[in-house]
Amino acid sequence: MKTQYVPDRDNYVITPESTLKEAKMTMQNMEAGLLPVFHEGQFFAFLNHRDIAVYLSLENKNPQKITVETFLRQHCNNAFLS
Protein backbone atom coordinates (compact mmCIF):
# COMPACT_ATOMS: atom_id res chain seq x y z
CA MET A 1 0.00 0.00 0.00
CA LYS A 2 1.35 3.41 -0.95
CA THR A 3 0.62 6.64 0.85
CA GLN A 4 -0.34 9.25 -1.69
CA TYR A 5 -1.05 12.15 0.62
CA VAL A 6 0.23 12.94 4.08
CA PRO A 7 -1.36 16.04 5.62
CA ASP A 8 0.75 18.73 7.19
CA ARG A 9 0.61 18.23 10.98
CA ASP A 10 0.14 21.92 11.75
CA ASN A 11 -3.02 22.12 9.65
CA TYR A 12 -4.73 19.07 11.06
CA VAL A 13 -4.29 19.07 14.81
CA ILE A 14 -6.17 20.87 17.53
CA THR A 15 -5.36 21.95 21.06
CA PRO A 16 -7.42 21.73 24.23
CA GLU A 17 -8.24 25.43 23.81
CA SER A 18 -9.89 24.83 20.43
CA THR A 19 -13.67 24.82 20.33
CA LEU A 20 -15.70 21.83 19.25
CA LYS A 21 -16.84 23.88 16.25
CA GLU A 22 -13.21 24.38 15.20
CA ALA A 23 -12.58 20.65 15.61
CA LYS A 24 -15.66 19.81 13.57
CA MET A 25 -14.71 22.23 10.79
CA THR A 26 -11.15 20.89 10.68
CA MET A 27 -12.48 17.35 10.32
CA GLN A 28 -14.81 18.42 7.53
CA ASN A 29 -11.99 20.22 5.70
CA MET A 30 -9.74 17.19 5.84
CA GLU A 31 -12.61 14.77 5.16
CA ALA A 32 -11.81 12.67 8.21
CA GLY A 33 -13.64 11.58 11.31
CA LEU A 34 -10.66 11.51 13.64
CA LEU A 35 -8.48 14.39 14.79
CA PRO A 36 -5.41 14.37 17.05
CA VAL A 37 -5.33 16.66 20.08
CA PHE A 38 -1.94 18.06 21.05
CA HIS A 39 -1.15 19.66 24.42
CA GLU A 40 2.12 21.59 24.82
CA GLY A 41 3.48 20.01 21.65
CA GLN A 42 2.75 16.47 22.80
CA PHE A 43 0.10 14.12 21.45
CA PHE A 44 -2.65 13.59 23.98
CA ALA A 45 -5.75 12.04 22.44
CA PHE A 46 -7.88 11.56 19.38
CA LEU A 47 -11.23 13.27 19.02
CA ASN A 48 -13.80 11.78 16.67
CA HIS A 49 -16.76 13.34 14.93
CA ARG A 50 -19.31 10.88 16.28
CA ASP A 51 -18.48 11.64 19.91
CA ILE A 52 -18.82 15.35 19.23
CA ALA A 53 -22.14 14.93 17.43
CA VAL A 54 -23.64 12.72 20.15
CA TYR A 55 -22.42 15.03 22.92
CA LEU A 56 -23.79 18.16 21.27
CA SER A 57 -27.16 16.61 20.49
CA LEU A 58 -27.69 14.97 23.89
CA GLU A 59 -26.36 17.84 25.97
CA ASN A 60 -27.89 20.58 23.79
CA LYS A 61 -24.61 22.53 23.90
CA ASN A 62 -23.29 25.30 21.67
CA PRO A 63 -20.17 24.03 19.80
CA GLN A 64 -18.79 27.58 19.60
CA LYS A 65 -18.63 27.81 23.39
CA ILE A 66 -17.43 24.33 24.38
CA THR A 67 -13.69 23.74 24.24
CA VAL A 68 -12.00 20.44 23.49
CA GLU A 69 -10.62 20.59 27.03
CA THR A 70 -14.12 20.79 28.53
CA PHE A 71 -15.32 17.92 26.36
CA LEU A 72 -12.34 15.73 27.28
CA ARG A 73 -12.67 16.48 30.99
CA GLN A 74 -16.32 15.42 30.96
CA HIS A 75 -16.06 12.38 28.68
CA CYS A 76 -12.58 10.86 28.88
CA ASN A 77 -10.99 8.97 31.72
CA ASN A 78 -7.44 9.71 30.58
CA ALA A 79 -7.69 13.49 30.93
CA PHE A 80 -4.25 15.08 30.91
CA LEU A 81 -5.49 18.00 32.90
CA SER A 82 -5.04 17.96 36.63
Over residues 42-61, the pLDDT tens digits come to 888 888 889 888 888 888 88
Q: Which of 8-12, 31-35, 39-43, 54-58 has the lowest mean pLDDT?
A: 8-12
How many whole angstroms separate alpha carbon 71 and alpha carbon 48? 12
pTM assigned to the model: 0.74
Report all structural domains of the chain as residue ranges with CATH numbers, in order of start: 10-75 (3.10.580.10)
CB 38 within 8 A of CB 28: no
Helix (H, G, I), strand (E, B) or coil at 32: coil
More confident site: 22 or 60: 22
Mean pLDDT across the chain: 80
Q: What pLDDT does 43 receive? A: 85
Q: What pLDDT does 5 receive? A: 47
Report the helix count and the strand count for the chain, using DSSP H and E.
3, 2
- Distance of alpha carbon 15 from the chain centroid: 8
